[in-house]
Amino acid sequence: MLQYPYRGMVRSLILTSVLALAHTGSGLAQERTLAALRPAGETAGLPDSPGSTLIKLPSVPMNAMAEPVAETMPAAHFAAAPPVVVVVPMNEAPRPHRFWDRENSILFVTAGAFATADFFTTRANLANGGKELNPITRVFASSTPMLATNFALETAGVMGMSYVFHKTGHHKLERITSFVNIGGSAGAVGYSLAHR
């Protein structure tokens, strides 16, 4: 039996390669399937599954990693390593939902309730000689119906902006719009109550 001086290193290199291939076996199988379906000469594309991306790493021949062994072993014992494919999961996008789902309904009702509370506290302060601080609302503060129209349009505007964000796929902004409006109205109600 022939004795090779680097037999232990070669054995551990082979074992590491086998473990790496076993770990990425599903990615390799997917890449081979895609390669079989791809016309000749076409470059590799992304996988069909929506949550992952393939990154193809260059293959390194075994004899490039074991140069000292090449002097003592025939070149026939070394074969080119197969390419390594790493599957990197991507962040999942928020799943689409109906516009009038439970969360939006609660947010819109809350926004409407705070707008109503803001209307009543603003009207009470204006009736007692107070001054409207919001320059936009000040235009509508001359009469009660115009003030009510201001707060109704504010709530409708929040719902309209949320709908635009929903239709364009910006679901986080869709929810944040209502939260910002609720926070602003709650602050206005608190300020009005504190300065009666």
Domain that holds residue 160: 102-194
For residues 83 and 141, state if they share a domain.
no
The tally of domains found in the chain comes to 2
pTM higher than 0.85 for the full model?
no
Q: Which two tokens stand for residue 108?
A: 């819109």
**What's the rounded Cα separation, in Å, for the pair 50 and 47?**
8
For residues 121 and 57, state if they share a domain.
no
Backbone dihedral angles phi then psi of residue 80, each to the nearest 5 degrees: -70, 135
> What is the pLDDT at residue 195?
84
For residue 8, the tally of other CB atoms under 10 A from its CB is 9
Residue 94 located in a structural domain = no
Average pLDDT of the residues of the chain = 75
For residues 190 and 123, state if they share a domain.
yes
pLDDT tens digit sequence for 101-136: 999 999 999 999 999 999 999 999 999 988 898 898
For residues 106 and 180, state if they share a domain.
yes
Do 47 and 35 meet the contact criterion of CB atoms below 8 Å apart? Answer: no
Residue 60, classed as helix, strand or coil, is coil
Please enumerate in sequence order all residues whose Cβ is within 8 A of that of 139, keeping only pairs 6 or more positions apart, or say none: 150
Burial of 95 by CB count in 10 Å (0-12 exposed, 13-18 middle, 19+ buried)? exposed
For residues 136 and 186, state if they share a domain.
yes
pLDDT tens digit sequence for 165-191: 999 999 999 999 999 999 999 999 999
For residues 40 and 120, state if they share a domain.
no
pLDDT tens digit sequence for 38-66: 555 444 444 555 555 555 555 555 555 55
> What is the pLDDT at residue 44?
47
The CA distances from residue 178 to 26, 124, 158, 164, 167, in Å, are 44, 25, 6, 13, 16
